[in-house]
Structure 1
């Protein structure tokens, strides 16, 4: 199992979400946040009271997936989460060492289905 973490533009979340759902990837967690970095869109940066540095709004999408689905998920995110401008985001993929469903204690990749 792998964990896919994608940081994308908030305005593209609905497109990415819809495309993932249409391909059968229904389950994800979405976080709203703010980020800074070399790859922020300079036309979309702003300051705030909470963060004194210039930053941009981002959405983080997390999907726990079977290893064989990672390339497809990543391609969907790349296709539907891009504008072609600096600051479109980034996708990280990490190994999941263990997964346990809280409700019944079941473990392993089977809890994703």
Structure 2
């Protein structure tokens, strides 16, 4: 199993989520945050009063999938998150050693994702 973490622009979330769902990758988690990095859009992003040093508002999308689905999912995220401007974000792919469903205790069950 693989874990995909995508850091995208807030305004691109709906397009990315809709595209993933249309391709039957329905199960993912979304977090809102702020970050610091060279990817900041200096024209549109500024420090906030709550986080004076963190100046990029971002959305993190996390999805666990089979290794065979990684390219399809990352291509979809990249296509629908891209504006071509600085600050479009990053996608990371990592390995998942195992999964445990809290409700059932089932171990190593891959999430149900359809290609």
TM-score tier after normalising by the smaller chain length: over 0.9
- 1:22-101 matches, within 5 Å, as 22-53=22-53, 55-101=55-101
Cα pair 1:66 1:109 within 8 Å, conserved: no
Paired residue for 1:2? 2
Following superposition, the deviation at residue 47 of structure 1 comes to 1.4
Give ranges in structure 1 of 5+ residues lacking alignment: none
What secondary structure is seen at the aligned counterpart in 2 of 1:99? coil
8 Å Cα contact 1:3/1:62 also seen in 2? yes
Deviations 1:9-57 (A, max 9, x none): 0100000000000001000000000111111111122111221225111
What TM-score do the two structures reach when normalised by structure 2?
0.93
Q: Return the alpha-carbon distance in structure 2 between the equivalents of residues 43 and 103 of structure 1.
A: 46
What's the Cα RMSD here? 1.0
Q: Is the 8 A contact 1:33 1:58 kept in 2?
A: yes
Q: What secondary structure, in the 3-state scheme, does the structure 2 residue paired with 1:43 have?
A: coil
TM-score by length of 1: 0.95
Contact 1:29–1:62, Cα closer than 8 Å, also in 2: yes
Does the 8 A contact of 1:9 with 1:57 survive in 2? yes
Q: Which has the higher helix share?
A: 1
